[in-house]
């Protein structure tokens, strides 16, 4: 709650600071947000500006009501100044908030007589550098870069699980490793196609379900969504070998349930693979340092 209150206070001050005094400091997670954390950028007049973030954007605060913006993609913020209300020399502030950092920009509308050719474009792109932002990531939350680093480290390790797998339709799917680190569980999934017919992946699903289902109508399946996968498996094609790495927030389930992993093909009568992971196999996960 204190963190949320601090963040709202920060955004309020951002909106009003330039109308009062540019010298301010706000504390969040014991890190100061001050003048050196504010990125100053000159943008073209009457142009759309795209901010590209390496992390998914949660929301954006804009100090001026004359500026409109939206999120066409989870990591792209699109800014549209109102040409009838915004004039050369005007400035406004935006705060782009992700789970990992807050990036603050003071945007200055360029004079159309400026000779800089980049400011005459109809579209303008700004790449957000997390090193220039204020880090607000909690110690127990993994960002995309940390997930990627862990995945790369994990796939370099040798297979240590040999008894979780399934075979069907000339296909083989199996779990090679299960890791844990902090509040996360990581699963490496592989598959082999021994046929000449490519396997077009429709989706890969993870479910906690009853070991013994009496009736499908009373089954209480819980679907798990990974917070990260190394590759975009869905839509991929397996002609020979497939491998991906999935990271989940820590989960538990009772002994009468199990984790089921399903891979389906993109066809009405497509192939379907399914394997089961017992909870004691999750408990034996290897610590990934």
Structural domain boundaries in the chain:
2-135, 144-287
DSSP letter at 87 equals -
Q: What is the pLDDT of residue 288?
A: 81
For strands 199-210 and 76-81, give the pairing. unpaired
- Measured in whole angstroms, how far is the alpha carbon of residue 90 from the centre of its chain? 34
Architecture of domain 144-287: Sandwich (2.60)
The reply to whether domains 2-135 and 144-287 share a CATH topology is: yes
By the 8 A CB rule, do 74 and 95 touch? no
HSE value, Cβ hemisphere, 13 Å, CA-based, for 51? 29
Q: What is the pLDDT of residue 37?
A: 78
Architecture of domain 2-135: Sandwich (2.60)
Q: What is the pLDDT of residue 139?
A: 55
Q: How far apart are CA 16 and CA 281, in angstroms?
A: 55
Long-range contacts of residues 157-165, Cβ cutoff 8 Å, at least 24 apart: 160/286, 161/281, 164/275, 164/276, 164/277, 164/281, 165/275
By the 8 A CB rule, do 177 and 161 touch? yes
Q: What is the pLDDT of residue 222?
A: 85
Q: What is the pLDDT of residue 5?
A: 44
Cα torsion for 40, 44, 48, 50, to the nearest 10°? -30
- The structure tokens listed for 91 are 């400035």
Below-50 pLDDT ranges, the chain: 1-29, 217-218
Q: What is the pLDDT of residue 192?
A: 95
Q: What is the pLDDT of residue 187?
A: 95
Q: How far apart are CA 48 and CA 200, in angstroms?
A: 38
- The structure tokens listed for 75 are 């990591």
Residue 49 CB: number of other CB atoms within 10 A? Answer: 21
Q: What is the pLDDT of residue 143?
A: 77
Long-range contacts of residues 5-9, Cβ cutoff 8 Å, at least 24 apart: 7/97, 7/102, 7/136
Q: How far apart are CA 136 and CA 1, in angstroms?
A: 14
- The structure tokens listed for 154 are 């994990």
Residue 163 CB: number of other CB atoms within 10 A? Answer: 7
Q: What is the pLDDT of residue 236?
A: 84
For strands 101-109 and 38-43, give the pairing. parallel
Cα torsion for 149, 97, 80, 107, to the nearest 10°? -100
Q: What is the pLDDT of residue 246?
A: 94
Cβ partners under 8 Å of residue 25, min gap 6: 32, 33, 34
């Amino acid at each position: 709650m204190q963190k949320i209150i601090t963040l709202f206070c920060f955004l309020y001050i951002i909106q009003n600071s330039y109308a009062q005094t540019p010298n301010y400091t706000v504390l969040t997670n014991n890190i100061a947000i001050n003048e050196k954390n504010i990125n100053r950028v000159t943008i073209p007049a009457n142009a759309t500006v795209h901010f590209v973030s390496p992390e998914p954007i949660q929301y954006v605060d804009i100090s001026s009501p004359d500026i409109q913006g939206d999120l066409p993609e989870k990591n792209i913020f699109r800014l549209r100044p109102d040409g009838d209300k915004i004039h050369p020399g005007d400035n406004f502030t935006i705060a782009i908030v992700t789970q990992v950092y807050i990036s603050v920009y003071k945007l200055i509308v360029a004079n159309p007589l400026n000779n800089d050719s980049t400011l005459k474009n109809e579209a303008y792109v700004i790449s957000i550098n997390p090193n220039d932002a204020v880090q607000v990531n909690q110690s127990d939350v993994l960002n995309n870069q940390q997930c990627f680093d862990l995945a790369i480290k994990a796939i370099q390790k040798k297979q240590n699980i040999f008894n979780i797998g399934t075979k069907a339709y000339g296909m083989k799917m199996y779990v090679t490793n299960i890791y844990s680190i902090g509040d996360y569980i990581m699963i490496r999934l592989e598959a082999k196609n021994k046929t000449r017919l490519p396997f077009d992946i429709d989706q890969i699903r993870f479910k906690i379900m009853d070991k013994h289902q009496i009736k499908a109508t009373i089954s209480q399946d819980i679907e798990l969504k990974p917070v990260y996968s190394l590759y975009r498996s869905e839509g991929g094609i397996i002609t020979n070998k497939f491998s991906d790495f999935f990271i989940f927030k820590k989960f538990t389930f009772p002994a009468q349930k199990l984790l089921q992993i399903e891979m389906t093909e993109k066809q009405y009568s497509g192939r379907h693979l399914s394997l089961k992971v017992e909870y004691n196999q999750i408990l034996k996960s290897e610590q990934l340092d």
